[in-house]
Structure 1
């Protein structure tokens, strides 16, 4: 059974801020050519980028490619990173652009499939025996019911751990809009979690 997420504690926020400072320092050092800093920067944000891309992207098979594309773009553009925002916010902005570019590219090309039921083929290709898999699927199903803007705001702040100001920067909207979207997303998720489960068909 899933329970609503509890508000993050001050200690948790302090840890996230300290980690963000370290990641930003690694990005700045990587910009200067430090190979160890490049590796630390990539490792520290790999999971966040993949998770964010997965929530933006409708094609689960494209997530790894888009995450890799994000890091390739970031490493190629490190010379322009000046540390005015956190490296996490900067990288997630790049991830967002990578996903949007992939949508534009896909929209300009015809869709071909050599499998009659391509949706079933995609579902069968997903792992289903991992610990916590069912809860993860349930969370994805709940998040999928949210409007795109609310889902993005919720994922950025509640899953990726970005401060509201940086989430606003990534989403290119005012901070108040992000706060409103997160509040509405939480309310919707709490309502969905409170709904009684449908009886199983006999």
Structure 2
């Protein structure tokens, strides 16, 4: 069963405990390594290219799955994202993390895909974005079932709040980079995440309330 701990903030504050600080430090170190790989790949290091792609492939899949709403398009959009990124590496200077830079490319790839799809008639309704995200989730890991339950709750959120929550709480992007990616102030991202978390907690509480009919039948 999903627990409120899954909805706890992931950004450091003065009151953050040591475990959260350690996790943030590890994420920052991982981002530094990934950015270093991107810069090395820009210089022609083939091993660095492989490390860069492997490190961010799942994050790209999860993000485009959240945005595009079509489970059949996730792999193609992820591949398109990396093709665009590798073709643009010569312009990457490391001013932001490679993760944020790549997710911004993923966002443009999805937008371009939507524009292309809008130019042709649709034969059926677009599948739920949630299915695509679930297929992009790692299986066999602790908390996987909880993660799927969280995705069920996320489906009820407004798009902007869901995106802010996914970027900062599921993909671990710093608030400043999430704001840059979403083209809005940092305060707006913080507000969206806070409201998303509050809504999720309310939905979680409702989901855990016993069904009166079931309780009556068991009495």
Would you call these one fold, judging by a TM-score over 0.5? yes
Question: Quick one: which of 52, 61, 80 aligns to 1:69?
Answer: 80
The CA distance in 2 between the partners of 1:161 and 1:118, in whole Å, is 28
Write out aligned runs for 1:126-145 (5 A). 131=140, 134-145=145-156
- Secondary structure of the residue aligned to 1:141 is helix
User: Which 5+ residue runs of structure 1 have no aligned equivalent?
Assistant: none
The CA distance in 1 between the partners of 2:155 and 2:74, in whole Å, is 16
* Residue 137 of structure 1, CA deviation: 3.7
Question: Quick one: which of 162, 166, 170 aligns to 1:151?
Answer: 162
* Residue 138 of structure 1, CA deviation: 2.5
Q: Does the alignment pair 1:106 with 2:108?
A: no
Question: Quick one: which of 48, 60, 66 aligns to 1:49?
Answer: 60
* Residue 112 of structure 1, CA deviation: 2.7
- Secondary structure of the residue aligned to 1:7 is coil
Q: Does the alignment pair 1:3 with 2:14?
A: no
Q: Does the alignment pair 1:30 with 2:41?
A: yes
* Residue 60 of structure 1, CA deviation: 1.1
Q: Is the 8 A contact 2:31 2:98 kept in 1?
A: yes
**Cα-to-partner distance string for 1:90-142 (whole Å, 9 max, x where unaligned):** 000001111111111111111136xxx996xxx7xx97xx6576544422221
Alignment CA distance shift 1:133-1:109 (3 Å): farther
User: Which 5+ residue runs of structure 2 have no aligned equivalent?
Assistant: 11-19
The alignment's TM-score, normalised by the length of structure 1, stands at 0.87
Equivalenced residue count is 193
Tell me which stretches of 4 or more aligned residues in structure 1 moved more than 3 Å: 130-137, 196-202
The CA distance in 2 between the partners of 1:62 and 1:162, in whole Å, is 24
RMSD: 2.4
Q: Does the alignment pair 1:191 with 2:202?
A: yes
The alignment's TM-score, normalised by the length of structure 2, stands at 0.80
The more displaced of 146-155 and 104-113 is 104-113
